[in-house]
Chain A
């Protein structure tokens, strides 16, 4: 079953085509990565798919709802984690979630459940302005899953967070996924996409330039070489493609001359640069 189906979706802001004729689909329960440089159209796509922005053309269905004509039916079925930590800072963590619970018509005890899930129960009474960045991000994620959505859109959820907090957020994402929630994730961090996503789409200048599993992208667009360091310090790069592939490596291994052996397959970032012609951080 498709959780998200998009056909020829476009959106322009004045003369700038932020999203340009994109088509893709996401299976239910999948973690789908949407990768692109700043201004590639990731956030615009999320805003259109979450019913916050109408497309200029094209069609989209999310959780079985048309993104233009069925926005009010769609909204309770999705959760959105914005790229900004858009919380009410003068309110406590609990008050933020209680407000969201009222908007979504959820029972109050659900607030404690999600606070516990993101490990914020003991700080629930503190004002959000006194939270660390990591705590705020966990609270935003708690708010996005409060109403048990089918699909969660996460826009750069680990941006600006330290590695430990980043790992905690990734754990929450995999927890959500293990509960059957479909995840639509945008990120700058290639390792994160590689680690979490079942499939990724590369977005450049508003267009999808590649869409596949991280492994397929790396093998299709990268080389199948291995880097070998010999006992005498010499370094070799050996191709594993072709009819004689592996023979030389086998001989070196048999002679006991190999000190270290590393895969030289392309990283997702290298594949992106190759396809989009620029780095993700640009």
Chain B
């Protein structure tokens, strides 16, 4: 492998991609969606009152803080056990169980656990709004950047499905945006880079030059990696307060990146022109993206069906690694993803050799 040739191809593609209308659109879409969510969600919050059931036995003051916000309606309950039931009965957006020692723990500079029951029968926007508002309110109450360990529990799921996270939106929007970034790479960026060389016959020039097919493919894959890391890095950097474990998050991102680049190589080797990529890539993108919407009130069978899509494991691994949970589930998800990556690369090599 001649790395000078690989880097020459990557350098050419990195510059050329900015001038390519479709590629540029694919690359900036996740950033645009991120911006859209940022702009759209606060506006949606103000439209209607979000009912939140609260159990706060020690009267920590957080209820008062919640009541200050005109977008939240608070219903207090007498016991922690009654909280999820009341959420379901009142069809509230969520419930909050504040431990008795919450205020003293905060004062001592520690991060007490705050259990939040989330009604996943509500819309994705309402859930996102609650996550965002709670994040803001808890921070305002504690007057420190990282005040509490929020334990999110979906009210119609088993307790084992609960996810511990630092704050709100990270558990839903950030993985979704990262999967969108990966999906764009796998479904559009890498396939377009390969297909355009075929379509414009520049592949003939490359193959008659000292570049081998292996080096050409490595150059294309590297371009996908460069752009995806750039966009994913931007998303993670802008949401850095949500990342509890950077090494673990980056490891997950890298494995996910390898997987989608492999998917891109397979698609690029099978399709012949830009039109075909535009047609098929949307289907691939939807499939890759589907598992990143787990908490929008989807049915059990759909949730099970999503487990055959490798990005399901990527989504779950992202949630856990961003939350800094080194549970056995995380390693299992990463192992499944690695296995899928190996399979995809084998298929890509086979398809490329068949085409060549």
Contacts and interface: CB of A to CB of B under 8 A. Distances in A.
A86 B210 contact: no
Contacts of B4: 102, 105
B205 interface: yes
A98 to B, nearest CB: 9
Interface of B: 4-5, 8-9, 11-12, 15-16, 19-20, 200-202, 204-212
Contact of B20 (A90, A99, A103): A90
Contact of B208 (A75, A84, A88, A105): A75
A137 interface: no
Contacts of B206: 103
Interface in A128-151: 143
A91 B16 contact: yes
A82 B16 contact: no
Interface of B is mostly: helix
Contacts of A10: none
Contact of B204 (A75, A86, A90, A95): A86
A90 B202 contact: no
A248 interface: no
A80 interface: yes
A104 interface: yes
A12 B15 CA distance: 39
A89 B212 CA distance: 22
B205 A82 contact: yes
A126 to B, nearest CB: 14
Interface residues of A, number: 24
A166 B70 CA distance: 78
Given A86-B200, A90-B16, A103 B209 contact: yes
Given A88-B200, A99-B8, A99-B12, 19 more contacts: A51-B208, A52-B207, A52-B208, A72-B210, A75-B208, A75-B209, A82-B201, A84-B204, A87-B202, A88-B202, A89-B200, A90-B19, A91-B19, A95-B12, A100-B205, A102-B5, A103-B9, A103-B210, A143-B205
Contacts of A100: 205, 209
A48 B202 CA distance: 17
B177 to A, nearest CB: 28
A94 to B, nearest CB: 13
List of 6 A-B pairs having minimum Cβ-Cβ separation, nearest first: A102-B8, A86-B201, A80-B208, A84-B201, A90-B19, A103-B209
Nearest to A103: B209
16 contacts: A52-B207, A75-B209, A76-B210, A80-B204, A82-B201, A82-B204, A84-B201, A86-B200, A86-B202, A86-B205, A88-B16, A88-B200, A90-B19, A91-B15, A95-B12, A100-B209
B13 to A, nearest CB: 10
Interface centre among B4, B5, B202 (most CB of A within 10 A): B202
Contacts of A88: 12, 16, 200, 202
Contacts of A51: 207-208
A182 interface: no
A204 interface: no
Nearest to B202: A86
